[in-house]
Amino acid sequence: MDGFNTRAIHAGQEPDPLTGAVVPPIYQVSTYAQDGVGGLRNGYEYSRSGNPTRTALQECMAALEAPGIDTARGLAFASGLAAEDTVIRTVLKPGDHVVIPNDAYGGTYRLFKKVAEPWGINHTTAAVTDLDAIAAAMTPKTKLIWIETPTNPLLNIGDIAAIAEIAHSGGALLVVDNTFASPYLQQPLLLGADIVVHSTTKYLGGHSDVVGGALVVGDAELGEQLAYHQNAMGAIAGPFDSWLVMRGIKTLGVRMDRHNDNAEKIVELLEGHASVGQVFYPGLASHPNHEVAKKQMRGFGGMVSFRVKAGEQAALDICSKTSIFTLGESLGGVESLIEHPGRMTHASVSGSPLEVPSDLVRLSVGIEEADDLLADLEKALG
């Protein structure tokens, strides 16, 4: 199965052998009958350790992120942060060091600052766009370089292949949070990354009706280590959540094409509007990392951020005046969302080196009719 959309629909999702159902069943079960002591049927004994619905999702994720890598392994979790925490607990030990983005998702920063740091994990921030700064941040104790690309919420782009070289030359692994791009637009493992992280809540689920996370790795030994901790720590994706994410993945390609198209039209409006001071979107030729984005991405995604000339209150007012764009956190659903990162998704980085501009507005552009979205936003901008 070479085509992305074909893999999205079929990988890990053979018709049910009992009934021929074309969609994998929801195995809403906690335990499994054994054929004698230790006689497991297809390896299933307890659903924390393994569940057929979750297995189907994990196989699909591996096929999407790592086509052609026979040793690839996908792992599904209860949330994106549960997936991130499993990486930290698996790869790191007290005294180790991590390089993280200077404009990371607030929840990721909180995890490193408030949870991992007291455990003895040190971190340094560096811009994902600055290869020299990333290299300079490395120490003999650095075990991970952790990046987002595009970043949240400023949509900076890191050169995955170049950063992988920096990580590996220093004896570290590269983790790429691929949530904003999705595997349809970007496949970091094929560019040299070691671990891919997703919040499957976002584009993979795509319908704002499930919370989940995933890891995909190419190395079999690392995959086994992460799987051991997935089971030992227990923050696994439940069967119904796994089924919902698989349902969303089937239409990921067609949805992302529409997200891209709508976002480009929104960006054109914002670029020409008198009240907008700066637009952040990697598809813009003026974006400082546009050429890197063109090199490693299939499209530029549905996330758009912009700064308002009149300041914070004007940004807050815009967020309150839309009717089709819903004021809310999260992203990647079929419906469009608008938010004020400084007071919402990134409130946890207030006062830190990762604090975002107070006049910043972030859009998750959905798949509604573009003309309706443009009219709604134009009304809010005034």
Distance CA 20, CA 334 (A): 30
**Residue 228 annotated among the catalytic residues of the structure:** no
- Are 283 and 293 spatial neighbours (Cβ–Cβ below 8 Å)? yes
Catalytic residue among 32, 105, 184, 203: 105
Neighbour tally for 68: CB within 10 Å: 10
**Residue 48 annotated among the catalytic residues of the structure:** yes
* Residue 101 preceded by cis peptide, ω within 30: no
- Are 245 and 212 spatial neighbours (Cβ–Cβ below 8 Å)? yes
- Are 147 and 141 spatial neighbours (Cβ–Cβ below 8 Å)? no
**Residue 298 annotated among the catalytic residues of the structure:** no
**Residue 109 annotated among the catalytic residues of the structure:** no
Output the CA torsion 133→135→136→142 (10° steps).
Answer: 120
- Are 222 and 245 spatial neighbours (Cβ–Cβ below 8 Å)? no
HSE toward the beta carbon, residue 7, CA cutoff 13 A: 18
Catalytic residue among 48, 89, 250, 321: 48
Catalytic residue among 85, 159, 177, 376: 177
Q: In terms of residues, how long is the chain?
A: 382
Catalytic residue among 7, 110, 202, 255: 202
Strands (E), the chain: 73-77, 97-101, 122-126, 142-148, 173-177, 195-199, 213-217, 276-280, 303-308, 326-327, 337-339, 360-364
CB contact burial 149-171 (16+ within 10 A = b; e otherwise): bbbbbbbbbbbbbebbebbeebe
Distance CA 53, CA 42 (A): 13
Among all residues, which ones are annotated catalytic?
48, 105, 177, 202
